[in-house]
């Protein structure tokens, strides 16, 4: 009985306090499994971030959860501040009936909880349109369907199949992972696709269905690319194509290419075309923004980030938010959660993902880089299964040990490391796992290699300067 009571107490302690939704740091707490009301950002896979008419943030995501206890029909969450998330349940009350045509076309078995994958939501006039995938793991027999609603909280009315693909179509697009994009003229497009035939772009008609012939914009037969997301930035006049490479369980990593025209070519920092991507040259094409990593804090308790990917990007005025799911280096693969990270731009207009997830910090200009020890992460260019483990490096008098220099000039970070020059940005952030403020630096080399530096010292006082 004593052992039972101890286990029960541990289970209770594992559940977040009432009113506090779970976040990345709560992964591994078994008390969450049967408490959807406490999930918060936990159990969020393939998240699509969108801002509602009410000013609140919503995330739509794949039907997946630890313990597989979710109700299928696209998970929905809401937040006022991008940090505290409330799980609202499924978008469809009865997805088996509502999406019966799509389920049948993809030959799903609803009783096995195949569910719906990777939704994306967009506002068109007074109507919200949700695009979603129906498929089975490892198959190209898939469909993308669409549902509409007057509100992000539903009810949703299914409108049928937008695109379908057949099994064994290795050189043709697989109908999963839709991203809906509106160009500056108001014309709408959809990107989609995966391992089988690469990433494709198609125009949409005024009713939201595909029109014309699709165009391949990244990858090809056998490439490990999926989860595309497309944005356009007026300050750079570039289209940016974000893609996840690798296995969602092992070496997922987020990459980007950019183009002056929507149909491409999308190029990386070395001028390589994303359409040239095949399995053999995966590590050489696309700017790798982040992959799996492990911070070596003194206490050794860092969960680490494993296989971050399937991102969406919210353009919120001058702010850019990268929303992605991640697993950990230390827990079973069925533990996953959503993270939202600030994203800034290099002097040359390349996205720079910040080392820590957003936890409500201000974005006041940094005027001084604190001296002391930093954790250095070199993301390099490979799709890494083993984490990129942080190195300890010290900033003092503008020098990074005997390996280079780091200085803040006109609000930008000019950094040299091992003979390579980097352009970057600095931001005060909250440490994901230890709490407290740290200085974060994200930088990119001229060849498109990204590095992070995160201050080792925790500042308990307010550090937005």
CA atoms within 13 A on the CB side of 297: 17
Full 3-state SS string of 221-264: CCCCEEEEEEEEECCCCEEEEEEEECCCCCCCEEEEEEECCCCC
How far, in Å, CA of 370 to CA of 439, rounded?
7
Q: Which residues of the chain have pLDDT under 50?
A: 1-14, 17-19, 463-465
Q: The dihedral of CA 361, 366, 370, 374: what is its sign?
A: positive
How far, in Å, CA of 157 to CA of 146, rounded?
9
Domains 25-353 and 372-455 share a fold: no
Domain 372-455 annotated CATH 3.40.50.1470: no
- Indicate the CATH number of 25-353 among 2.40.30.10, 2.115.10.20, 2.30.29.30, 3.90.950.10: 2.115.10.20
Q: Collect all residues with Cβ–Cβ distance below 8 Å to 391 and sequence separation of at least 6.
A: 375, 376, 378
CB 395 within 8 A of CB 369: yes
DSSP label at 413? E
The torsion defined by the Cα of 246, 316, 147 and 126, in degrees rounded to 10, comes to -160
How far, in Å, CA of 152 to CA of 74, rounded?
12
CB 90 within 8 A of CB 99: no
Residue 45 in tokens: 């896979």
The torsion defined by the Cα of 21, 24, 28 and 34, in degrees rounded to 10, comes to 30
* Secondary structure (3-state) at 53: coil
Bridge partner list, 191: 179, 201
Burial class (CB in 10 A: 0-12, 13-18, 19+), 206: exposed
Which residue has tokens 């183009």? 259
pTM for the complete prediction?
0.94
The values of phi and psi at residue 31, to 5°, are -65, -15
Residue 11 in tokens: 């289970």
| Cα–Cα distances in angstroms (integers) from residue 236 to residues 184, 185, 231, 337, 350, in the given order | 13, 17, 11, 32, 9
Selection from 288, 291, 412, 292 nearest residue 351 by Cα: 288
Transcribe 360-375 into DSSP letters: S---PPP--PPPEEEE
Amino acid 158: pLDDT: 98
Amino acid 16: pLDDT: 53
The torsion defined by the Cα of 386, 392, 398 and 401, in degrees rounded to 10, comes to -110
Domain boundaries, the chain: 25-353, 372-455
Selection from 372, 378, 368 nearest residue 426 by Cα: 368
């Amino acid at each position: 009985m004593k052992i039972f009571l101890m286990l029960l107490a541990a289970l209770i302690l594992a559940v977040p306090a009432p009113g506090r939704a779970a976040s990345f740091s709560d992964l591994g707490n078994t008390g969450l499994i049967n408490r959807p009301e406490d999930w918060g950002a936990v159990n969020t896979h393939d998240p699509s971030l969108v801002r509602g008419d009410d000013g609140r943030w919503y995330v739509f995501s794949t039907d997946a959860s630890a313990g597989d206890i979710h109700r299928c029909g696209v998970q929905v969450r809401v937040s006022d501040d991008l940090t505290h998330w409330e799980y609202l349940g499924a978008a469809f009350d009865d997805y088996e009936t509502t999406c019966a045509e799509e389920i049948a076309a993809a030959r799903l078995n609803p009783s096995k909880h195949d569910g719906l994958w990777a939704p994306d939501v967009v506002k068109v006039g007074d109507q919200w349109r949700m695009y979603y995938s129906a498929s089975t793991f490892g198959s190209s027999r898939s469909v993308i369907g669409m549902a509409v609603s007057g509100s992000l909280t539903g009810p949703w009315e299914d409108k049928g199949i937008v695109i379908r693909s057949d099994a064994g179509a290795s050189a043709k697009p697989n109908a999963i992972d839709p991203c809906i994009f509106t160009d500056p003229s108001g014309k709408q497009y959809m990107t989609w696709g995966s391992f089988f035939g690469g990433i494709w772009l198609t125009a949409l008609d005024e009713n939201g269905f595909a029109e014309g012939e699709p165009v391949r914009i990244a990858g090809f037969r056998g490439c490990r690319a999926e989860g595309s997301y497309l944005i356009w930035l007026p300050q750079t006049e570039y289209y940016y194509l974000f893609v996840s490479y690798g296995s969602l369980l092992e070496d997922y990593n987020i990459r980007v290419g950019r183009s002056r025209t929507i149909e491409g070519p999308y190029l990386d920092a070395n001028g390589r075309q994303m359409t040239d991507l095949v399995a053999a040259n995966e590590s050489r094409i696309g700017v790798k923004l982040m992959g799996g990593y492990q911070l070596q804090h003194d206490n050794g308790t860092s969960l680490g980030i494993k296989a971050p990917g399937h991102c969406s990007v919210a353009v919120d005025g001058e702010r850019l938010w990268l929303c992605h799911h991640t697993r950990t280096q230390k827990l079973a693969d069925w533990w996953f959660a959503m993270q939202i990270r600030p994203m800034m731009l290099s002097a040359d207009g390349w996205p720079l993902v910040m080392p820590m997830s957003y936890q409500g910090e201000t974005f006041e200009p940094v005027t001084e880089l604190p001296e002391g020890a930093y954790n250095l992460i070199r993301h390099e260019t490979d799709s890494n299964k083993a984490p990129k483990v942080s190195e300890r490096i010290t900033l003092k008098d503008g020098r990074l040990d005997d390996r280079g220099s780091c200085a803040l000039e006109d609000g930008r970070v000019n950094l040299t490391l091992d003979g390579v020059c980097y352009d970057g940005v600095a931001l005060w952030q909250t440490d994901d796992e230890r709490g407290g403020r740290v200085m974060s630096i994200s930088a990119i080399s001229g060849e498109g290699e990204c590095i992070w530096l995160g201050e080792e010292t925790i500042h308990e006082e307010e550090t937005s300067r």
